[in-house]
Amino acid sequence: MKYVIGVDLGTSAVKILLVGQLGEVVRSVSKPFALIQEKSGYSEQNPADWVNQTTAGLLELLNGWGGNAEDIEGISFSGQMHGLVLLDGNNEVLRPAILWNDTRTTAQCQHIYDVIGEERLLEITKNPALEGFTLPKLLWVKQFEPEIFNQAKSFVLPKDYLRFKMTGQLQMEFSDAAGTLLMDIGKKEWSLEICDLLGITPSLCPPLVYSHEEVGTIAAEYAEVSGLSAATRVFAGGADNACGAIGSGILEDGKTLCSIGTSGVVLSYEADGSKDFGSKVHYFNHAAPDAFYTMGVTLAAGHSLTWFKDVFAESESFEDLLADVSSVPPGANGLLFTPYLAGERTPHADAAIRASFIGMDSSHRRKDFVRAVLEGITFSLNESIDIFRRNGKRIDAIVSIGGGARNEEWLQMQADIFDAKIIRLESEEGPGMGAAMLAAYGCEWFDSLKDCADQFLKEDRRFQPIPANVETYKKIFAIYQEVYGKTKELNTKLLAFRK
């Protein structure tokens, strides 16, 4: 029996999966690490923490397994996107990594538009300039920490640095490079035009490779401290959303993913990079070879439900909180919630907008509010699906993962609001499984990632849309879409009174 390892380097923890040839998860280990938040809007991490906790996790995984490290044929990675790791000429880290959820770079985003032009930026990168992307972070360091910027010889993203520490080889793969705003998405090469116009030395950008490409083996010194075999093959891996898509079988036209965690993502497969969504959704290179994906984001998806529980039902479990939702009819008895607790991303890209409950009266009970929160989160995600469909995409089947897949009433709600069949998987391991699948494909266990998915991933249940509910939700969704525009001005005024 041979095995592969999938390493999912997240924002709060690293999760490591040991996976067998039938797709079975033999063992998993998770190790946390902390954020550095010195100022409002700042979010950083120490890259050494990623390496140390991954190493500790590998040791725990291997020691608890009892098998032979030589039977682990390959290892690959999923990683948090957009984070900036700056390295000097000796590949030593120059400063803490600036993460995807750091929002200090609003002025740098505007500078990118001023210099490149919004239309030209979209032509090259297919994405707008947002604070989360890597290029604005580079420009921030260039402006405010010039002594560090001048020492930099290369930059990488989080999982790329972790992989470098395991192999001694420095690369970046296409799915993560697509989230830097420095790569030409269609040509799959660094944009010399953007580098030149913004004063970024092209040599800062590392060599580009495919996600399933073998980039080395485990370095002898790392094998000694981690317990891995120096013969284990190392594959480049992919961005977390791309790996989450692979780990959910989003590998052909018509397949879409709905992932509800703290934030929410709707991600749909694209066979090529030719479509134009007018910057309303993200457009990235997939970790599957020569494919792409489009993606919309709800900033406060599961976070909205967690907020409601913490404020109004702190001592209860989520299961108890959701127990009565099925007794409330679609539309929550005329109560509507917009999940803008942390602003919104798709389709509005507005950090200042705030959430609302609309339609409250004294007849409403707590269960109505709970259903309204679930519906509001799902309406927000449906904004992305609506954009996809209006631009000609076919949305037939949606695989639901994360917190939104743990409650059957919410899964039915997704089927009704999205007007599509919702698929729940038997075992959901997300990006870590996608990373393991890239390693299995790289090791030539399968002829394609699709063949790998057919072996590794199994459906648990399908939820079909109920026609009467679909019609009700279409009417309510039209009302939901009016709320943003009608509350934006009032929200802006109210922000002046926040402490």
Active site amino acids: 240
Instruction: Note if the bond before 347 is cis, omega within 30 degrees.
Output: yes
The neighbour count for residue 171, using CB atoms within 10 Å, is: 19
Distance CA 223, CA 431 (A): 24
Distance CA 200, CA 209 (A): 21
**397 neighbors 328 (Cβ within 8 angstroms):** no
Nearest residue to 110 via CA among 131, 132, 84 = 131
**188 neighbors 208 (Cβ within 8 angstroms):** yes
The neighbour count for residue 165, using CB atoms within 10 Å, is: 19
**259 neighbors 244 (Cβ within 8 angstroms):** yes
**353 neighbors 488 (Cβ within 8 angstroms):** yes
Distance CA 431, CA 372 (A): 29
Nearest residue to 178 via CA among 141, 137, 124, 214 = 124
Nearest residue to 62 via CA among 217, 223, 214, 216 = 223
Nearest residue to 336 via CA among 173, 217, 445, 472 = 472
Contacts of 471 (CB under 8 A, 6+ apart): none
Structural element, H or E, at residue 234: strand 233-235
Sign of CA dihedral 88, 94, 99, 100: negative
What is residue 215's three-state secondary structure?
Answer: strand
Q: What letter represents residue 364's amino acid?
A: H
What phi-psi label fits residue 424: left (phi over 0), alpha (psi between -120 and 50 degrees) or beta? beta
